[in-house]
Amino acid sequence: MSDSKPSKTMLWGGRFTGGLDPLMVAYNESIYHDRAFYAQDIAGSVAYARQNAKLGILTQDEFAAIEKGFGQVKEEWASGRFEIRPGVDEDIHTANERRLGEIIGTHIAGKLHTGRSRNDQVATDLRMWLREELRKIEAHLVEFLSVVAKRAEKEIDPVMPGYTHLQRAQPIRWAHWMLSFGHQFALDLERLREVVKRVNRCPLGCGALAGNPFGIDREALAQELGFEGIVYNSMAGVGDRDFALEAMQWGSTIMMHLSRWAEDLIIYSSAEFGFVRLADAYSTGSSLMPQKKNPDSLELLRGKAGRAFGQMAGLQMTIKGIPSTYNKDLQESVEPLIDHVKTVSDSIQIATGVISTLDINADAMRKALTPDMLATDLADYLVRKGVPFRETHHISGRCVALAEKEQVPMDTLSLEQLQAIDSRFGPDIIESFDYEKSVEMRSAKGGTSKSSVLEQIAVLKKTLEAN
């Protein structure tokens, strides 16, 4: 094959007469990746042929043959019967046009590409495919957040330690923890909806870079293919992959949030914490230690975040150094984008399974609460008596220090011991050593009181309903 000439089916073959290195043939092919866009490529070709028929470039009979022929090609792909010809079917565009010619004849099929380039064709395919995949991901994310909202509403009563620096800080509701991530993911949902709008712009009709010479109706093309509008500059239309990069930047952001969410649950599921227990469906055992129940689903979520980041950064580095309009470097957007989208989609669905099925141990959460976590409540008690907070913070700290010195829980300090630190402590100070009261005092918007948590749930549900 080393001295073989380019096949006549190759869309660029007429220019070249020399032989092809077989490694270069394989190196250049993208068919085994971009075949994922077969349906989008066919839809774009039919829409393009329809407009060429309106321009008189195709007769109505020729258009009908093209449309019918592509129906057969699409069915072959869908059923798995389409036979890829290595070394011939360079990409999905070449493969589809080659097969169309075999079905309806090359004379009619050869008219299909009039005024069109693979440059605007692949950009259109990518945008259509990505738009549809992102909408699927949106549905998965809505489902995930719906579960979070339902669990938060159902499990609003359990109180647990809240952490900063991984140190026990203040009492919070378990529902409040769930919503802390729920509202981050809700922002991700809002961002995703914005990304889809920018992805959903049609480049078809831009040609190779300078535009279409036959006056094709690009607005009609965009409308038929479900785009919200067109890319207005033909050079930008074929050379832009910002839409793919932005989608991967979004994917990296939600994977970062999933990774942090998973990390918390990994910690909470450990024997040292015991706050949650994962369902068997999302855990694995040890090949050596029978007692082990490993949170592999969560560890994989955490690990695959790195995979997503790498794909995004790799594409950004590919794009940054190329000159304007189309360069073959842009082919490197296809493989990582496909894998990135699948990774993000699968990860959200796994996260939904985890949060839908895990059990909580409210008793373990309660037992992990300690009186020193109410030190701020002691300070707030004195603030309500008119003492400046900076002074009350110092006083409360002395109470903590005394309890540590005496090696007793802070709520067992006597009124006399507390008044020895500050005489403004009264008998009602004992009411401050109440975890339920502590969380209910945080009733400002965004706080961990029951009313605040219910409001957060309502806001989250409203976000899910928006479009």
Parallel, antiparallel, or unpaired: how do β-strands 159-164 and 167-173 relate?
antiparallel
> Tokens 């349906």 — which residue?
39
DSSP percent split of the chain into helix, strand, coil, nearest 5: 65, 5, 30
Instruction: Provide the 3-class DSSP secondary structure of residue 414.
Output: coil
Catalytic, out of 2, 79, 107, 165: 165
Is 286 a known active-site residue?
A: yes
Is 183 a known active-site residue?
A: no
Long-range contacts of range 219-225, CB-CB < 8 Å, 24 or more positions apart? 220/51, 221/47, 221/48, 221/51, 224/47, 224/50, 225/43, 225/44, 225/47, 225/124, 225/128
Catalytic, out of 4, 270, 286, 324: 286
CA distances from 324 to 117, 179, 237, 314 (A): 16, 44, 11, 19
Provide the token pair at 170.
């203040």
Q: Which DSSP symbol is given to 284?
A: B
Nearest CA to 250 out of 303, 311, 320 is that of: 311
Calpha distance 279→283 (Å, rounded): 7
Q: Which residues are catalytic?
A: 165, 286
